[in-house]
Structure 1
Amino acid sequence: MLTNPRSDRVKAVRALSRRSMRARTGDFLAEGPQAVREAVAFRPDLVRDVYVTPEAAQRHADIVESARVADLWVNEVTPEVLAAMCDTESPQGIAAVCRALDLPLADVLADLPADALVCVLTNVRDPGNAGTVIRGADAAGADAVVVSDASVDVYNSKVVRSTVGSLWHLPISVGASVPEILAALRGRGVRLLAADGAGTTLLHDADLSGAHAWVMGNEAWGLPVEVRDACDDVVRVPIHGHAESLNLAMAATICLYASAEVRRTSR
């Protein structure tokens, strides 16, 4: 059992809270039972080490057993050690060091089906929003999520927690510029739908057939004019009450589910 919160290993894991260290090592920390469960179940090849307190090992015996069956390193640690490793104030007793899972943009687009549904995050800076959009894309059955170089790091601990495990469920590409992303999607025959409050097309009137990508903008200022102009249509979610606007993650999920429903009925 690891008992020293000041050991080199603990310091190395804690250092993954810094983006520079994640970029240098190619590793990140997944905290909490849901994130670790999904990583072990869906991408055990990317899990380097699992750290768990004795109490959590009993409470989440299924995760520990799955990790051992997958021949992963499972390390028991004291609560103090786990707290020193994690970014959250109250860790849930289990965490895992994982390798980055993103794919090159070309690889993601090469495997898209004919009726592909893609979600593009252009300048999304809020970790909670980014993680929740990835979770919504997963739930709606999207084929990929593409995150631009101007957006938050998807391996930020808050993003990872907000995905609630969806990070390991669908292909994700990060790091390309917005113009590069839009050009690559268009080159694959994917129509570009800008989701923006300035849109003249209402969601229920939008053409959601065939391969298309929802292009999502920044939480505060939405999509810049040049991005909207580069898309095939600019679509807005109608607001029937008195709310000024919708949260980015809410709007993204509504748009993705509208597309999922059209795809479901056309297959």
Structure 2
Amino acid sequence: MNETGRPPVDAMTNPRADRVKDVAKLAGRSARLKRRQFLAEGPQAVREALLAHRESMTAGGSPIVTEVYASLECLKRYPEMMDLAHDRASHLHIRIASELVLEAMTDTVTPQGILAVCNFVDVPLEAVLASKPKLIAVLAQVRDPGNAGTVLRAADAAGADAVVLTASSVDIYNSKSVRSTAGSLFHLPVVLGADVEELVERCKAAGLGVLAADGYGHLNLDLLQDESAARSFDQEVPDSAYALETPTAWLFGNEAQGLSDAELELADHRVAVPVYGSAESLNLGTAATVCLYASARAQRR
């Protein structure tokens, strides 16, 4: 609000305006694919998008953010958004919008006061493999957007080099997926639409071992970690099936069925996370976090 208690003259207040409808269309997958754009909602996601945008523009890369809309109340709470958007390298301008306009732009029940229209950020598999990755998370037939976002966030936290989603997995640009990544979507390379058989073949050719997370796996993750720790102290580990400290691609399967038999056959080994209590198993996000951190720790010893 200005001194009169009214919105600025150029503030967007009409939720039925064409521009509002145009942004709202990005809630649908067909519009996202056609325009190769998606929405990042909320202060954390938008902040990370703006930081990635500034870094890309500074390095002479392509823009990540094209538009930003925010309420005055949100900008008062997060004044750094103005600095990031209006940075000389960013070349952006935040449009002030009413809460009704922001609500019309998104599919969330309670808008968080700010959103950004972003260009797709996925990269080709060739670019990932050319960077000589040490740790990759592969999501095979993962259908839940919240789970996909959670695994991507865990991979980011573990310092993974990339996340790969197979062709049958969820759209990572789904608004729920984007929100659940908590900004990690803008931190590490993401590959979409991979064929799992071709992917595994190319990972192996690039020098990565391939491990399948499987509750019935013949290898125990705790044992692999113990063996890796022993090697770090120059202790001999006879008959070790796999060195966890080597470059690795982890395969994670569907929430309900896990990895298919065909997908399990592609891996070098099937690895189980031991369950010491009464729980039948771990959910996808937890299992992926444990596996990725086990590799990350072994690789950093």
What TM-score range do you get, normalising by the shorter chain? over 0.9
CA shift for structure 1 position 209 = 1.9
CA shift for structure 1 position 112 = 2.2
Please list, as runs of the form range in 1=range in 2, the aligned pairs for 1:88-167 lying within 5 A after superposition: 88-113=108-133, 116-167=134-185
Inter-partner Cα distance in structure 2 for 1:240 and 1:176: 35
Report the AA paired with residue 81 of structure 1. Answer: V
Q: Secondary structure at the match of 1:81?
A: helix
Report the AA paired with residue 97 of structure 1. Answer: V
Q: Deviations over 1:211-246 (max 9, x none)?
A: 111100000000011111110000010000000111
- Are positions 1:49 and 2:67 aligned together? yes
- Are positions 1:21 and 2:39 aligned together? no
Report the AA paired with residue 260 of structure 2. Answer: P
Q: Which residue matches 1:31? A: 41
Inter-partner Cα distance in structure 1 for 2:187 and 2:287: 21
Inter-partner Cα distance in structure 1 for 2:205 and 2:119: 30
Q: Deviations over 1:46-98 (max 9, x none)?
A: 00011000101111111122111122121100000000001110011000000
Greater mean deviation of Cα atoms: 145-154 or 173-182: 173-182
- TM-score, normalised to structure 2, is 0.86
Please list, as runs of the form range in 1=range in 2, the aligned pairs for 1:1-267 lying within 5 A after superposition: 1-44=11-54, 45-69=63-87, 70-113=90-133, 116-206=134-224, 207-265=243-301
Inter-partner Cα distance in structure 2 for 1:43 and 1:184: 30
- TM-score, normalised to structure 1, is 0.96
Report the AA paired with residue 15 of structure 1. Answer: K
CA shift for structure 1 position 181 = 1.4
Inter-partner Cα distance in structure 2 for 1:183 and 1:73: 45
CA shift for structure 1 position 259 = 0.6
Q: Secondary structure at the match of 1:183?
A: helix
Report the AA paired with residue 107 of structure 2. Answer: D
CA shift for structure 1 position 205 = 2.4
CA RMSD of aligned residues (A): 0.9
Inter-partner Cα distance in structure 1 for 2:217 and 2:46: 39
Unaligned stretches of 5+ residues in structure 2: 1-10, 55-62, 225-242
Inter-partner Cα distance in structure 1 for 2:80 and 2:97: 18
8 Å contact from structure 1 (residues 124, 218) kept in 2: yes
Unaligned stretches of 5+ residues in structure 1: none
Inter-partner Cα distance in structure 2 for 1:187 and 1:263: 20
Q: Deviations over 1:105-137 (max 9, x none)?
A: 111111124xx0110001100111100000000
Q: Which residue matches 2:232? A: none
Q: Which residue matches 2:228? A: none
8 Å contact from structure 2 (residues 52, 64) kept in 1: no
> Looking at CA atoms only, which structure, 1 or 2, has the larger radius of gyration?
2
% of aligned pairs identical? 51
8 Å contact from structure 1 (residues 48, 73) kept in 2: no
Inter-partner Cα distance in structure 2 for 1:179 and 1:28: 29
8 Å contact from structure 2 (residues 149, 177) kept in 1: yes
